[in-house]
Structures are given as structure tokens and as C-alpha cells.
Amino acid sequence: MTIELHTWNTPNGRKISVALEEMGLPYKVIPVNITKGEQMAPGFLKLSPNNKIPAIVDPEGPDGKPVSIFESGAILLYLGEKTGKFLPKSLSQRIPVYEWLMWQMGGFGPMPGQVHHFIALENEQDRAYGLKRYMAETRRLYGVLDRRLADRDFVAGELSVADFAILGWAWRHPRHKVDLADFPNVKRWYEALMARPAVKRGMDAKLD
């Protein structure tokens, strides 16, 4: 059964297309053009009460019944549970997956997202304070990630949904004005992930 991915070409959307490809799940993209306000449409609101992409509809959800899920972190955990892939079975091994997924959701997303906002402003005075504040915090978060990856291949040890979540935002590092050469462990991790065929398919999938 084909999963519907309601999304747009954003870091949060890419998290899910990469995960679906890595998990080998069939899906079809239903674009939600956020530049035209389509995320505010009543039909999409039924899937995503917060009017944010992405959302999925799985026609073969729990007990074989259709289910819709919003919030990219929740979607990743659901897909990991559904497939048994990229989400360890033991609680002790899940803990770092949960930690680093929440790290992405609470920091390495909202902070670079503010960079995206302020860098697009035309008024230099409006841009200056926001960029100074949020670029500094974004670089700090890259540093946190770099230290985490100093002695492991992936953030939770084995490849997991947490890596897919973080990758969606690391993909936009040029827009963050971050040179990955400054964070060599992140650079190694990023290049290894981007070299995976399924990740490449997920990144190349047309989401808009």
C-alpha cells in the first residue's frame, strides 16, 4: 500500500523522503505549496492541525486501518516502528535515538530556521541582529554534533531515524553559511550519508 507524503521541498520534508527510501516503503508525493499558503487549506488541516508540513497518510496503519500522522519526528518514529528499521528494539539502544531526534527537533531545526528567515530580509538593520544571534547558535549546534560524531559513525551508534532527521537540516548548510570543513566529523558523517543510494533517491525526489 502506497503512503501519501504531503510535503514541500524543505528540510523537514526531506527527512521523510529519505526515511521512506531507506526503509523501502512505496510512497507518492502530494505537494503542499507553502509559498501559496496551501498548508492552511481545510483538507490539509485535517491531517496536520498545526498547518505545518510534512504529514503522511498510511492506508495500512495499525490494525490494517488508515492513519494520518503529522510532525516530522512523530512520522520518523512511526515509520521506524512500522518497519522495524532504523529504530533499535532495546530501550537502552533507543535512548540515544530519542535524545538526538529531540535535539534536532528542539534545536537543530528551529535555530537554522531562524537563519533562513533573517538571511532573506532585505533591510540590513533588520537582518543584522537576527543573523548574529542565530548564526552563532547554529554554529554552536554544529559543534555539538561534531563532538558527538568524534568517536562514532552515526549519532546513536547505528544508523537511525535520528540521522535522517538531522540530515534534513544539515543538507541546508550552505544556506546556514556553514562550511562543513570547520566541522570535520559532521563532514564525514554528511558525506557518508549522502553517498547512500537510498538517501540520494530521497534527496532527489521531487517534493514541489
**In this prediction, what percent of the chain has a pLDDT beyond 90?**
90
Instruction: Report residue 150 as a C-alpha cell.
Output: 568524534
Average pLDDT over residues 32-46: 96
Asked if 78 and 24 count as a contact pair (C-beta separation under 8 A), the reply is: no
Q: Is the dihedral of CA 121, 126, 128, 133 positive or negative?
A: negative
| DSSP calls for 18-47 | HHHHHHT--EEEEE--GGGTGGGSHHHHHH
> Please, which pLDDT band fits residue 117 given cuts at 50, 70 and 90?
confident
Q: State the Cα–Cα distance between residues 150 and 87, nearest whole angstrom.
A: 22
Q: State the Cα–Cα distance between residues 42 and 39, nearest whole angstrom.
A: 8
Residue 200's identity, in one-letter code, is K
Lowest mean pLDDT among 15-24, 72-81, 119-128, 178-187: 119-128
> Please, which pLDDT band fits residue 126 given cuts at 50, 70 and 90?
confident
Q: State the Cα–Cα distance between residues 158 and 153, nearest whole angstrom.
A: 7
- What confidence score (pLDDT) does residue 67 get? 98
- What confidence score (pLDDT) does residue 161 get? 98
- What confidence score (pLDDT) does residue 35 get? 94
| DSSP calls for 161-203 | HHHHHHHHHHTTTTTTT--GGGSHHHHHHHHHHHTSHHHHHHH
β-sheet bridge partners, residue 5: 29, 56
Asked if 58 and 67 count as a contact pair (C-beta separation under 8 A), the reply is: yes
Closest CA relative to residue 28, chosen from 50, 59, 64: 59
Is pLDDT at 121 greater than 90 in this prediction?
A: no
pTM of this structure: 0.90
> Please, which pLDDT band fits residue 183 given cuts at 50, 70 and 90?
very high
Domains, the chain, in order of start with CATH, read: 3-86+199-204 (3.40.30.10), 91-196 (1.20.1050.10)
Instruction: Report residue 123 as a C-alpha cell.
Output: 533591510
